Amino acid sequence: MTISLRSVCIALLVLFAAACQSEQVPPAEPGGFVQWALPDKLREISGLALTSDERLLAVTDEEAVVYEIDYRNGSLVKAFAIGRPTIRGDFEGIAVLAGKVWLMTSNGRLYTFDEAADGQRVPYERIGTGLRDQCEFEGLTADEQSGRLLLICKESRKKKKGLRIFAWLAAGDSDQEAIEVFLDEDAISESIGKKHVNPSGVTIDPATGNLIVVAAKQRAVFELSRDGRLIDVIMQLDSKRHRQAEGIAITADGSLLIADEANKGPARLAIYSQKRTGKTPSE
């Protein structure tokens, strides 16, 4: 039987593509850590959110397309677009609250809409929070307890000391004033050995109600009380695993999910089997 060079090349390409799609970084310890390479559509992944039935939604930072990812294997389940044509912007956060999906841009603008099936387009409501002069935002999460969205500042545009987070009532009027909370930046920066802290994602631990914040620039994940006090540094992120951590979420069983934008390789989704305490995960 004669096998052509063309057939061999095609077979190799298919195998290579399959390997890239399911790339997995070996576990740090048995059952404790896994990391998936994500499809190229998610190169600019910038936020994560879990639905009430624990499906993982994600957004990228250039257009309003919501992706569902199966975090158990890293595969893409569905994608749907917001608006016709699709809204474009610097999207830096996603949340699920009050039966709606919410997106946030870096200037604090919110978009809300219904979840849709694969390939669909949905109408939306756009909400100006009046916060664009306060911060560059880079993290959004839902506080089910208060019915508010929490928008965390990456960098303040005002000369105010400390990190800042704003709470926006999801069912409130568009002219409401957001509640501002200052976070203890000095305690955080001292604990991780950095001069400043620039949050890139935030979520709420369903077990404790505390805030869990990731800072890509400082490669750290830390836990805060609702009034902004540092509780603990959960981990300092290994640069080989986490090139640019932009999204974070926690499942009901305590698994910590962290998404990294593509940087000298594909975007990645890491799953730690439980929220950790300690500055560096074991290798």
Return all residues near 209 (Cβ < 8 A) that are at least 6 apart: 145, 226
Quote the pLDDT of residue 194: 94
pLDDT top residue among 274 and 47: 47
188 backbone dihedrals φ, ψ, rounded to 5°: -65, -50
**Section 185-212 average pLDDT:** 95
pLDDT for 139 beyond 60: yes
Beta-strand runs (E) in 71-195: 75-82, 91-97, 100-105, 110-113, 121-122, 125-127, 135-143, 148-156, 163-169, 179-183
Q: For the chain, state the CA radius of gyration.
A: 19
Q: Is 43 exposed, middle or buried (0-12, 13-18, 19+ CB in 10 A)?
A: middle
Cis peptide before 85 (omega within 30 of 0): yes
Return all residues near 192 (Cβ < 8 A) that are at least 6 apart: 218, 220, 222, 233, 236, 279
**Section 68-73 average pLDDT:** 96
Q: Across the chain, what does the average pLDDT equal?
A: 87
Quote the pLDDT of residue 174: 81
Identify which of 12-21, 27-36, 75-84, 178-187 has the greatest average pLDDT: 75-84
**Residues 274 and 256 sit within 8 Å (Cβ to Cβ):** yes
SS3 215: strand
Residue 92: which pLDDT band, with cuts at 50, 70 and 90? very high
CA–CA separation, 123 and 58 (whole Å): 18
SS3 108: coil
Quote the pLDDT of residue 125: 97
Structure tokens at 270: 């890491």
25-272: CATH topology is: Neuraminidase (2.120.10)
**Section 32-41 average pLDDT:** 95
pLDDT for 10 beyond 50: no
Sign of CA dihedral 19, 20, 23, 25: positive
Q: Where are the domains of the chain?
A: 25-272
Q: Which residue has the tokens 């004033």?
A: 177
CA–CA separation, 265 and 65 (whole Å): 22
225 backbone dihedrals φ, ψ, rounded to 5°: -75, 170
Quote the pLDDT of residue 280: 39
**Residues 59 and 66 sit within 8 Å (Cβ to Cβ):** yes
Q: What percent of the chain has pLDDT over 90?
A: 80
- Report pTM: 0.87
